[in-house]
């Protein structure tokens, strides 16, 4: 049995210090009752006071012991890992709400298709160190790098359009992802960037961010999301669909600069195919390590402290009041 925070035992003398350091009650500050009350026997009162002090000291000792987090190491468990870190950077700008993606025989928004297929992709990354960045007007780290892929999938499922703003800061998203990938030990570092537009916000231009990623050894796979359908305008001229300005040249350059690849995902099938290709390009490098989880025992002393604290409550007076009202 060990304690995660043994320094919490320094709080043991705190009640005694409070009792010694607080000033005594002012003279004459006696409790005046509206009628005479027969006081209990003095000896009985002293015994009751000592009993309550003993119970309070035991409860405080148990409470401090629970705060110190007693732990017992569990048997080691083998954990499979790949030795690879992968960050997902997902565009949640306003244009991702356009419903031009086909998914399960129906039309859904770009963001809904990305979330559904990305969740499947993340669920298959067991053993990878996975993180999640959302970007719009600003870029935010939603989930730090973790082996818990289920948590990453849940965080992605709870994301919403406009959560990071309505514009698109591709360069800032790359810089933020590279910052957290580069902090890890030297291993295969991968960034999967999904967007449907051009860089319209942020402090760093995408091509400058790509150079930073290349210097940090981060490979970027870019996926351009959104339908590539064209509409017929005046005099039979073909024009791009509204809000479908995808900067293919920049996304392609980012991928090639860092040793990755650009994918065009005009529908959900192409998006799923892009994930499958990335999975094939980034093969799993099987490895094992030992994980020794700790079994927490703090609920037991905490529960006993609460039970002892309940014995100090004035139960008799409470029941007496109820009987008088009845």
Using alpha carbons, select from 226, 224, 195, 198 the residue that is nearest to residue 110: 226
Write down the pTM of the prediction.
0.61
End-to-end CA distance of the chain: 51
Task: Give the pLDDT of residue 109.
Answer: 82
Task: Compute CA 227 distance to the chain's CA centroid, rounded to the nearest angstrom.
Answer: 32
- Report the pLDDT value the prediction gives residue 119, as an integer from 0 to 100: 81
Are 275 and 121 in contact by the 8 Å Cβ rule? The answer is yes
- Its sign, for the CA torsion 228, 232, 237, 240, is negative
Backbone angles phi, psi at 255, to 5 degrees: -65, -45
Between residues 240 and 175, which one has the greater pLDDT? Answer: 175
Angle at 109 between CA 221 and CA 158, to 5 degrees: 75
Q: Are strands 2-3 and 70-73 parallel, antiparallel or unpaired?
A: antiparallel
**Rounded Cα distance, 94 and 278, in Å:** 27
Whether 267 has a pLDDT exceeding 70, the answer reads: yes
Confidence of residue 197 (pLDDT cuts 50, 70, 90): confident
Q: How many CA atoms lie within 13 A of 178 on its CB side?
A: 23
Checking DSSP bridges between strand 129-135 and strand 84-91, what pairing results, if any?
Answer: parallel
E-assigned strand segments in the chain: 2-3, 70-73, 77-81, 84-91, 101-103, 106-108, 129-135, 139-146, 188-195, 218-225, 230-232, 238-240, 262-265, 287-291, 294-296
How far lies 60's CA from each of 12, 299, 301, 303, in Å?
A: 8, 15, 10, 12
**What is the pLDDT at residue 227?**
67
Domains of the chain: 2-23+34-73+294-325 (no CATH), 79-288 (3.40.50.410)
Average pLDDT over every residue of 311-323: 65
> How far is Cα 11 from Cα 24, in angstroms, rounded to an integer?
22
**Cα 145-146-148 angle, rounded to 5 deg:** 150
pLDDT at 102 over 80: no
Residue pair 85/188 in contact (Cβ under 8 Å)? The answer is yes
User: What tens digit of pLDDT does each residue of 113-139 get?
Assistant: 888 888 878 877 777 788 999 998 999
Distances (CA, A) of 13 to 16, 164, 312: 5, 48, 20
Q: In the predicted model, is pLDDT for residue 304 greater than 60?
A: yes
Q: Does the pLDDT at position 325 exceed 80? A: no
Give the range among 69-73, 137-141, 231-235, 257-261 with minimum mean pLDDT.
Answer: 231-235
Please report, rounded to a whole number, the percentage of residues in the chain having pLDDT higher than 90.
Answer: 18
Structure tokens at 6: 């043994």
Give the pLDDT confidence score for residue 10 in this predicted structure. 92
* The total number of residues written for the chain in this structure: 326
């Amino acid at each position: 049995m060990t304690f995660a925070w043994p320094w919490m035992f320094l709080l043991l003398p705190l009640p005694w210090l409070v009792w010694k350091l607080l000033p005594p009650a002012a003279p004459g500050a006696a409790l005046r009752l509206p009628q005479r009350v027969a006081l209990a026997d003095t000896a009985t009162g002293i015994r009751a006071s000592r009993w309550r002090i003993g119970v309070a000291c035991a409860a405080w000792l148990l409470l401090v012991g629970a705060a110190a987090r007693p732990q017992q190491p569990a048997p080691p468990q083998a954990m499979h890992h790949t030795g690879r870190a992968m960050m997902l950077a997902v565009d949640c700008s306003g244009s991702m709400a356009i419903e031009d993606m086909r998914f399960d025989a129906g039309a859904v928004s770009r963001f809904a298709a990305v979330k559904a297929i990305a969740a499947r992709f993340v669920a298959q990354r067991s053993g990878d160190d996975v993180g999640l960045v959302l970007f719009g007007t600003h870029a935010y780290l939603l989930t730090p790098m973790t082996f818990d892929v289920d948590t990453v999938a849940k965080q992605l499922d709870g994301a919403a359009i406009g959560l990071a703003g309505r514009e698109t800061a591709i360069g800032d998203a790359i810089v933020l992802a590279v910052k957290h990938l580069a902090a890890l030990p030297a291993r295969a570092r991968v960034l999967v960037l999904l967007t449907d537009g051009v860089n319209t916000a942020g402090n760093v231009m995408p091509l400058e961010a790509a150079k930073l990623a290349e210097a940090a050894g981060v490979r970027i796979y870019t996926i351009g999301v959104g339908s590539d359908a064209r509409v017929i305008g005046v005099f039979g001229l073909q024009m791009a669909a509204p809000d479908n300005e995808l900067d293919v040249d920049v996304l392609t350059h980012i991928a090639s600069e860092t040793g990755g690849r650009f994918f065009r995902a005009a529908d959900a099938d192409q998006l799923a195919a892009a994930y499958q290709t990335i999975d094939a390009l980034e093969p799993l490098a099987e490895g094992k390590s030992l994980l020794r989880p700790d079994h927490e025992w703090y609920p037991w002393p905490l529960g006993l402290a609460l039970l002892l604290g309940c014995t100090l409550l004035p139960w008799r007076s409470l029941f007496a009041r109820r009987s008088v009202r009845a």
